Amino acid sequence: MDVENTKIENVVEKINLLYKVSQERELTIEEKELQGKLRKRYLDNVKRNFRSQLDGIELKNGKKEWWKLGVSVKKLIDDLNLEVLVEGQDDVEISVNDINRPGLQLAGFYNYFAPDRIQVIGKAEWSFLDYMQIELRKKRVKKYFSFDINCLIIARGLEPHPEFIKEAKKHNIWFLRSNLVTTQFISKTNIYLSDKLAPETRLHGVLVDVSGIGILITGESGIGKSEVALELIKRGHRLVTDDAVDIKEIDGQLIGTSPKITIGMLEVRGIGIIDVTTLYGLSAVVQEKEVNLVMNFEHWKDDNDYDRLGIDNEYMNVLGVDVKKLTVPIRPGRNIAVIIEAAAVNYRYTLMSKITPVDVIENRMNDLNGI
């Protein structure tokens, strides 16, 4: 079999087939060699794709971080289903998550005007222009288009005044139209831009959904993160991503997703890459999850003073957001999957109750002592 020239989809299919065979019988020497070649072919493809995705990423504090520079107007048109009235420059991008309704500008007031925002004309602005005398309207529209505007969108499917078409063509500015009501369009666009322009980082770890709580498992390579994730999947919990976790900060929340090429994939040392959706069903994988808790795995150290009461408050800062962090010492015999399940349930309990187990014990001791 020519592994090097095999399509990557067929490589994944054959890896999964060999995994199923290994569950029924021991692989032959030839099958093990083929499994190794297929795994190397897949990982090489993953690395190539990762490198192409990470072009221009800035290294900060040992982590790979980047901020999306903007959303192209052409992508905005496709994603929001906008009609093009006047086509502008190809390389125009939206980099500000704000929208401006230019009523004040069309009235002649330009203090604090932000032309880099998306400009939206609704029924109020349109009616104001329609009420205006033609010569004055031409003057106001000409002044408005003298600023460096990224794009202008007219809502409600309104028919634009001819002065707008003329000036947009003259200045080569995108002029678009939406059939949505103005407030609905603005709300939809704000949500869209919040997602597309959110600061983002990629961390090494595994993100799982355990009882509705998003848990980011971190730790050095080979410590057992993926194996624990596999055990959690068998227990009915869900995988978000393995090895590389893409995290966006949206309105103070950290949303974790998987790189596109590794969605539903889990690498287990000694077995290879597992297609979780194929082996455990589509319900075993979720596309995104808020990161609520970080659990850092480290090898057990006898001289380390680990938290035994649950009173230590340690946090991990990700994109300016502090996330509660638990350090889990690893050694043979510990059922880590059960510990993670307990941590998820305990985290949910702390959100609903201000009384900790330590408080309960203190109350009981006070009762015994007659205090």
Q: Which residue has the tokens 């496709």?
A: 78
Q: What SS3 class is residue 119?
A: strand
Determine if residue 336 is left, alpha or beta; phi over 0 gives left, psi from -120 to 50 gives alpha, anything else beta. alpha
List CB contacts of 99: < 8 A, sequence separation 6 or more.
Answer: 117, 118, 119, 120, 186, 189, 190
Q: Single out the catalytic residue among 7, 25, 51, 308.
A: 308
Q: Single out the catalytic residue among 37, 169, 171, 204.
A: 204
Q: Is 243 a catalytic residue?
A: yes
Q: Is 308 a catalytic residue?
A: yes
257, 240 contact by CB (below 8 A): yes
Helices (H), the chain: 8-24, 29-53, 73-80, 103-106, 123-131, 134-144, 162-171, 182-196, 225-234, 276-280, 336-352, 357-368
Q: Is 204 a catalytic residue?
A: yes
Q: Is 225 a catalytic residue?
A: yes
Which tokens is 361 given? 């014990």
Class of residue 16 by CB neighbours under 10 A (exposed 0-12, middle 13-18, buried 19+): middle
Q: Single out the catalytic residue among 225, 237, 248, 289.
A: 225
Q: Single out the catalytic residue among 41, 117, 238, 243.
A: 243
**Residues catalogued as catalytic:** 204, 225, 243, 308
